[in-house]
């Protein structure tokens, strides 16, 4: 449950649309709920601005289905990352409105009205980086950021990136996704005033060491506004960008 959902529930109680018992039953799940193999953090939305996100890797399909169901029953938006087709089918059996992105490997269910604000730009060096970039996009969008995507604009053809400069400079936060030598983040950082969240990917030949080369290049960037998340962690990149965007958009209103 996030702050908006809590306020809506209390307003409905004040208007007589909910009984006191219904409110108590909803609040009983806070701050967490014990499930057979998990402890669901229903309080995270109030603390952090967005609810608990399900990391599906290492979980069984029944576990993902159970956790997703318990989160969804609170009425909040739900996001699951690194999900398989099998997991998505199980979740969609319970919640037909849930959407699965095979590229991003995400399942998301929007139950709160969409209210996109601000501007997050997601930039990807090449087509091979799209799974990570799309994970960032889905994450930022479910957190109500307005997102633009700028794909296949790596430094091997720098003119492609420069053609996007005007729109990138209008963003409140930029997610730069790249493998190989990871130079894209530094170039973007030299073009925009907004924070750049660099996401190294494991794309590249042997000497890229599964993304370590890109990670180290991004950590050593001479562009002052660049921060770095872990290899292939599009979720963290999109999440950080959405939080920055939310705060920035709030100050502009």
Same-domain pairing of 121 and 246: yes
- Return the pLDDT at 2: 59
- Return the pLDDT at 27: 65
Q: How many residues does the chain have?
A: 253
Helix (H) or strand (E) holding 82: none
Same-domain pairing of 156 and 96: no
224 vs 253, which has greater pLDDT? 224
Q: How confident is the model at residue 38 (pLDDT cuts 50, 70, 90)?
A: confident
- Return the pLDDT at 49: 79
H-helix segments, 41-183: 44-48, 61-72, 85-94, 130-142, 158-162, 165-168
d(CA 180, CA 142): 29
Q: How many domains does the chain have?
A: 2
Same-domain pairing of 92 and 123: no
SS3 call for 57: coil
Query: What CATH number should be reported for the domain holding residue 247?
Result: 3.40.50.1970
Same-domain pairing of 126 and 104: no
Its pTM stands at 0.85
The yes-or-no verdict on residue 44 having pLDDT over 90 is no
Same-domain pairing of 202 and 238: yes
- Return the pLDDT at 48: 76
Same-domain pairing of 82 and 148: no
What is the CB neighbour count within 10 angstroms for residue 208? 20
Mean per-residue pLDDT over the chain, rounded: 90
Q: Which of 37-41, 114-118, 225-229 has the highest mean pLDDT?
A: 225-229
pLDDT tens per residue across span 173-211: 999 999 999 999 999 999 999 999 999 999 999 999 999
Same-domain pairing of 75 and 134: no
SS3 call for 164: coil
pLDDT tens per residue across span 105-138: 999 999 988 889 999 999 999 999 999 999 999 9
Domain that holds residue 65: 3-109
- Return the pLDDT at 1: 54
């Amino acid at each position: 449950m996030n702050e908006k959902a809590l306020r809506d529930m209390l307003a409905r109680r004040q208007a007589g649309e909910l009984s006191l018992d219904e409110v108590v039953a909803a609040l009983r799940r806070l701050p967490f709920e014990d499930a057979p193999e998990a402890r669901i953090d229903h309080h995270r939305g109030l603390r952090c601005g967005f609810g608990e996100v399900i990391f599906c890797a290492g979980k069984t399909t029944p576990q993902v289905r159970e956790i997703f169901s318990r989160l969804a029953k609170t009425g909040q938006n739900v996001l699951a990352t690194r999900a398989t087709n099998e997991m998505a089918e199980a979740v969609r059996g319970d919640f037909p409105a849930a959407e699965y992105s095979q590229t991003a490997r995400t399942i998301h269910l929007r139950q709160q009205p969409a209210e996109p604000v601000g501007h997050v730009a997601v930039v990807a060096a090449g087509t091979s980086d799209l799974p990570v970039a799309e994970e960032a996009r889905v994450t930022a969008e479910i957190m109500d950021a307005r997102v633009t995507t700028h794909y296949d604009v790596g430094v091997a053809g720098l003119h492609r990136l420069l053609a996007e400069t005007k729109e990138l400079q209008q963003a409140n936060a930029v997610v730069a996704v790249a493998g190989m030598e990871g130079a894209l983040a530094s170039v973007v950082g030299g073009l925009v005033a907004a924070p750049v969240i660099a996401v190294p990917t494991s794309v590249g030949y042997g000497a890229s060491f599964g993304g370590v080369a890109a990670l180290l290049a991004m950590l050593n960037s001479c562009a002052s506004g660049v921060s770095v998340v872990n290899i292939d962690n599009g979720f963290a990149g999109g999440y950080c960008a959405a939080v920055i965007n939310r705060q920035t958009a709030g100050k502009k209103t």
